[in-house]
Amino acid sequence: MFRKNSFLLAIIVIGLIACTSKKEAEEAAKKSPTPSEIASKQPEVHGTEVKDVELTNPLNQVWVEAGKKNYDLKCLACHKLTDEKLVGPGWAGVTKRRQPVWILNMITNVDMMLDSDPEAQKLLEECLVRMPNQNLTQAEARELLEFMRRNDGEK
Amino acid sequence: MKTKLFSLQIFVGLLIIVLTLALGCKPQNPSTAVIGDAAQKVYVAPGQYDEFYNLVSGGFNGQVSVYGLPSGRLLKIIPVFSQFPESGWGYSEETKPMLNTSHGFVPWDDAHHLAFSTTNGEHDGRWAFINGNNTPRIARIDFGSFRTEEILEIPNSSGNHSSPFLTENTEYAIAGTRFGFPLDDAGSNPDVPIDSYRENFKSVVSFVRIDPESGQMSMGFQLLFPGMDFDLSKGGKGPSHDWAFFSCYNSELAHTLLEVNASQKDKDFIMAVNWKKCEEYVKAGKGKVLKSRYAHNLYDDTKHQANSVIETETIVLDPRELKDVVYLMPCPKSPHGCDVNPTGEYIAGSGKLAAVVPVFSFQKMLQAIENKTFDGEYEGMPVLNYDAVLHGEVKKPGLGPLHTEFDDEGFAYTSCFVSSEIAKWNVKTLEVVDRIPTYYSIGHLMVPGGNTAHPHGKYVVAYNKITKDRYLPTGPELTQSAQLYDITGGKMKLLLDFPTVGEPHYAEAIPASLVKDRSVRFFKIEDNQHAYAAKGEKEAKVFREGNKVHVNMTSIRSHFTPDNIEGVKLGDEVYFHVTNLEQDWDVPHGFAIKGNDNAEILIMPGETCTLKWVPDKVGVIPFYCTDFCSALHQEMQGYIRVSPRGTNIALSYSTNKKPDSESK
Ligand SMILES: [Cu+2]
């Protein structure tokens, strides 16, 4: 029954009737980035100290909105917009107590700040959780600053 | 009786003397084998990096372990074919489909051989492939994520041993069956008498296509053979680019006591397959479609979810009909290793029961094929004349030669299992130029890049089966080990012993510089497309679908949102979909819940992972983070309340909600 010839003869020859759902799944999987592509798109903004920043009035409303989005996604878990401390200090008044450049470095260069800036170190002693590097670009940090200014009542 | 005993003693005595002479003087005290500056050569100062990544197969643990060389430091265990409770691999809802097969969920395998992707025969640092031997599978690990990204089941195979060795440009991964098995018209395994082996049993060799961009695997084609057993294989290089070579044993077609019955013939074969020609035959429509069910599992790094698809057919070629794609080269006594040198001209076949290592010449093979210098046929396939294809034999390499690796200076290194040593020989002259003991019973060995067109050289590593007295005793089961030797001088020098995880088989090593800058550091939370991701605490929620309760939860240093959940009832299935909101390297969070008949999950930054929990008791159950994430990690905890069936406590959830009495 299983001799070579009968085996070959009896192989069921069916055309290439591909299952579409499977094809779609494969196509979708093809489109999603490989780990190497993911790795190549990782911004590493750490280590570039921000030296100066220009503040403009009135506020850039597009930045305020973009800043809020990132706040919800990446900061809200630890910072309230009031003066209540959660994991980190509440943001009410932060643009009054801190220089804009200091804030930007706190966002994009937090390891440097916690290693060398006395004010940041004082905060760490109070909070005991290291403020995480949330890997924001300089532009995103600038947008967040705009959002913080708005939170402090600027127009 | 007495005289008999006496002569036995003399005989044993003589045997010892003869063996000692034959094997040369081994150092009495193993530690004397280490040279003076060994410590300096393997010392990697604190904070410094190793020069090579060494990925080592874990054998029966089904995993891959990553070591640094020359230090031998263990950097990571990559779960592949076996569940890994430590990270939730094969336990989390997202990774369970990775272990799906045509048999359903198979949570374990035996992982033997690593093969790093190559371009023009050289390491390109993109992927590492590894075989599952027991339930035939090939897995692809990505050097960006150091995670298993794909597993393809190999249909019509049993014991996927000669795998997943690659062709020169990573066109194909090879998979030959080690156990012939009955195969019927529908690609299934029919119910036949075992002693109908000759008649019913087949062996299949598969060529798995690899997409050059994504690395994704698909069944290319399969070749159908009589039930001989394929042991190991290697792709050709340079002039032999179009070919792949396999060692075969059990040409006797035995089905019982193979130890004896498959060792009858003086010679088995090294089989040469012209895969390029096979490819052309497939294109020309010479293949037949065979119904076969096999799983194809892919992990998606933005959905953070694996998907398993059952494929239903393969394309099969019959080399005996095609005539010019397969040739057999006689090789003494059940060959094991089948290794191609860097130029692609020489193929070393190590007959594990033989006293020589025959080295075949690819040019002579082509010549013999052209001149039809055949010694008859085996089961309808041409057998080439041994002397016509032989470059020469390495004489007295040691006892039980198994595997051969190559360096960048024209030398080969053969592991000798029975005599526990490595023999170094000149590939051109076949002269043994050096030998060194291993402790003990070496199996595979590895020179960094030693199976590529341009070996990186520097070291040879022995992967030993037995360690006996080399380490502190740990009960009946002792560690297996690797040993690092310096090969930069004329003489091999032992530098270091290091224990390995599981049982090491084939391994590869690649310069760190080709890999280290490719590492994924975190997954961008914006790109997370997981169906139950909570992108920010505002999206955290708990909702019910019948008796399924979904908790879309966030984690960040150091709290979960929500961390108080009520309204779950006995009979519910709870799915914790935990999204890690961190966006920095090296900040995973863990999640575990009391009494869960499941593992924990470790969630990488930006990723979502799901742990299923079916509460078995009424009460308030704690959950917590298992990965020390900050000074307040110990506070990273929460509660879920489980009420009796039929109570009407509404589903509710919160974080940092003060009771009404307190907030007044
Ligand atoms: Cu944690």
CATH code of the domain containing A115: 1.10.760.10
Contacts of B215 (CB under 8 A, 6+ apart): A34, B117, B126, B127, B140, B142, B149, B150
Residue B440 has pLDDT above 90, yes or no: yes
Evaluate if residue A102 carries a pLDDT over 80: yes
Question: Tell me, what's the pLDDT at B314?
Answer: 95
* Coil, helix or strand at residue B429: coil
Domain-wise residue ranges, chain B: 37-256+270-518, 532-663
Quote the CA–CA distance of B379 and B202 in Å, as a whole number.
12
Q: Is B545 helix (H, G, I), strand (E, B) or coil?
A: strand
Nearest to B501 by CA among B13, B116, B84: B84
What is the per-residue DSSP string for B193-218? -GGGHHHHEEEEEEEEEE-TTT--EE
Q: At what angle do helices A138-151 and A61-70 cross, to 10 degrees?
A: 100
Angle (deg, nearest 10), helices A100-108 and A138-151:
130
Domain hosting residue A23, numbered range: 2-41
**pLDDT-based confidence at residue B251 (cuts at 50, 70, 90):** confident
User: Is A80 contained in some domain?
Assistant: yes
CA distance B440 to B467: 6
Q: Are B534 and B577 in contact (CB under 8 A)?
A: yes
Phi, psi of B655 (to 5 degrees): -140, 135
The residues that bridge with B315 in the sheet, in sequence order, are: B289
Report the alpha-carbon distance of residue B634 to residue B624 in Å, rounded: 8
Cβ atoms B140, B150 nearer than 8 A: yes
Look at residue A82 and tell me if it is in a domain.
yes
Contacting residues for B181 by C-beta, under 8 A, at least 6 apart:
B158, B189, B201, B202, B227
The residue among B241, B545, B211 whose CA lies nearest residue B366 is: B241
Indicate the SS3 state at residue B433: strand
Q: Measured in angstroms, how far is the CA atom of residue B607 from the centroid of ligand 1?
A: 14
Q: CB of B635 within 8 Å of any CB in chain A?
A: no
Question: Would the CB atoms of A25 and B307 count as touching at under 8 Å?
Answer: yes
Residues with CB under 5 Å of ion ligand 1 are B 589, 625, 629, 636
Residues A34 and A69 in one domain: no
Is the residue at A47 inside a domain?
A: no
Residue B33 confidence class, pLDDT cut points 50, 70, 90: low
The highest-level CATH class for domain B37-256+270-518 is: mainly beta
Mind listing the pLDDT tens digit for each residue in B625-638? 999 988 888 899 99
Question: Got the DSSP string for B54-70?
Answer: EEEE-BTT-EEEEEEET
Is the domain of A71 the same as that of A32?
Answer: no
Query: A114 phi and psi, to 5 degrees?
Result: -70, -25
The answer on pLDDT for A8 being more than 50 is no
Q: Is the pLDDT of residue B161 over 80?
A: yes
Whole-number Å distance, alpha carbon B633 to ligand 1 midpoint, is 5
User: What would the pLDDT profile of B509-529 be if each residue is shown by its tens digit?
Assistant: 999 999 999 999 999 999 999
Q: What is the pLDDT of residue A18?
A: 35
Q: What does the alpha-carbon distance between residue B328 and residue B330 come to, in Å, rounded to a whole number?
A: 6
CB within 8 Å: B632 and A128: yes
- Note the pLDDT of residue A82: 97
Mean pLDDT over each residue of chain B, to the nearest integer? 92
Residue among A14, A25, A33 whose CB faces B301 most closely: A33
Burial B533-555 (b: 16+ CB within 10 A, else e): bbbbbeebebeeeeeebbbbbbb
A31 touching B (Cβ < 8 Å): no
> Where does residue B380 rank: exposed (0-12), middle (13-18), buried (19+ CB within 10 A)?
middle
Residues A74 and A133 in one domain: yes
Cross-strand pairs, B613 = B574
* Same-domain status, A87 and A37: no
Mean pLDDT computed over A30-54: 75
- For residue B354 the two structure tokens come to 């033989």
Residues A82, A130, single domain; the answer is yes
Do B656 and A26 lie within an 8 Å CB cutoff?
Answer: no
Bridging pattern class, strands B390-395 and B442-446: unpaired
Q: Report yes or no on A122 lying in a domain.
A: yes
Q: How confident is the model at residue B23 (pLDDT cuts 50, 70, 90)?
A: very low
Is the minimum CB–CB distance between A82 and chain B shorter than 8 Å? no
At B45 the three-state DSSP class reads coil
Judge whether A77 is closer than 8 Å to chain B, CB to CB: yes
Q: Which residues lie across from B205 on neighbouring strands?
A: B176, B223
Determine contact, residues A42/A107, Cβ cutoff 8 Å.
no
**Inter-chain touch B303–A134, beta carbons under 8 Å:** no
Does some domain include residue A55?
no
Mean pLDDT, range B466-478, rounded to an integer: 92
Residue B49 is predicted with a pLDDT of 97
Task: Note whether B581 contacts A77, CB cutoff 8 Å.
Answer: yes
Selected for mutation to probe chain B from A1, A3, A6, A11 (highest B CB count within 10 Å) is A11
Q: Look at the alpha carbons of B594, B597, B602, B606 in this order and tell me if their dihedral is positive or negative.
A: negative
The domain B532-663 having CATH identifier 2.60.40.420: the answer here is yes
Distance B518 CA to ligand 1 centre (A): 26
Q: Is the pLDDT of residue A81 over 70?
A: yes
Element (H, E) at A153: none
Burial tier of B371 (Cβ tally within 10 Å: 0-12, 13-18, 19+): exposed
Rounded Cα distance between A89 and A72, Å, is: 16
Q: Which of B312, B556, B608 to mutate to test the interface with A (most CBs of A within 10 A)?
A: B556
Put simply, the answer to whether A22 touches B184 (Cβ < 8 Å) is: no
Q: How far is the CA of B632 from the centre of ligand 1 (A)?
A: 8
CA angle B213, A39, B48 (to 5 degrees): 120
Greater confidence, A32 or B306?
Answer: B306
Total count of domains within chain A: 2
The whole-angstrom distance between residue B245's C-alpha and the CA centroid of its chain comes to 19
Asked whether residue A14 is assigned to any structural domain, the reply reads yes
Give the distance between the most distant pair of CA atoms in chain B: 104
Predicted pLDDT at B597: 97
Distance separating alpha carbons of residues A99 and A80, to the nearest angstrom:
20
Please write the tens of the pLDDT for every residue from A121-143. 999 999 999 999 999 999 999 99
Looking at the partner chain, which of A2, A32, A39 has a beta carbon nearest the beta carbon of B199?
A2
Chain A residues inside the 8 Å CB shell of B185: 7, 10-12
Do B200 and A134 lie within an 8 Å CB cutoff? no
Are residues A65 and A36 both part of a single domain? no
Q: Residue B634 C-alpha to ligand 1 middle, in angstroms? A: 8
pLDDT 10s digits, B559-600: 999 999 999 999 999 999 999 999 998 999 999 999 999 999
Establish, for the pair of chains A and B, how many residue pairs have beta carbons separated by less than 8 Å. Answer: 149
Q: Taking residues A102-114, what's their average pLDDT?
A: 94
Q: Does A84 touch chain B (CB under 8 A)?
A: no
What percent of chain B has pLDDT above 70?
A: 94
Nearest to B350 by CA among B408, B429, B405, B426: B405
Cis peptide before B413 (omega within 30 of 0): no
pLDDT at B189: 83
Q: From the list A13, A72, A133, which residue is nearest B538 (CB)?
A: A72
What's the gap in Å between B301 CA and the centre of ligand 1?
22
Looking at the domain assignment, is residue A22 inside a domain? yes
In a domain, A112, yes or no: yes
Question: Which residues of chain B have a CB within 8 Å of the CB of A74?
Answer: 525, 536, 581, 583
Question: In a mutagenesis test of the A interface, which of B317, B563, B584 is the best target, namely the one with the most A β-carbons within 10 Å?
Answer: B584
Q: Which of A26, A32, A80 to mutate against chain B (most B CBs within 10 Å)?
A: A32
User: Is A74 within 8 Å of B525 when comparing Cβ atoms?
Assistant: yes
Res B265: pLDDT: 76
Ligand 1 center to residue B606 CA distance, Å? Answer: 14
Cis check: omega of the bond before B562, within 30 degrees of 0: yes
Asked if residue A67 and residue A20 are part of one domain, the reply reads: no
Q: Are residues A19 and A92 in the same domain?
A: no
- In this complex, do A10 and B142 lie within 8 Å of one another by their Cβ atoms? no
Is residue A47 over pLDDT 90? no
Other C-beta atoms lying within 10 Å of the C-beta of residue B498:
20
Residues A111 and A76 in one domain: yes
Question: Which site among A73, A86, A87, A124 would you substitute to test the B interface, given the most B Cβ atoms closer than 10 Å to its Cβ?
Answer: A73
Whether residues A93 and A142 share a domain: the answer is yes
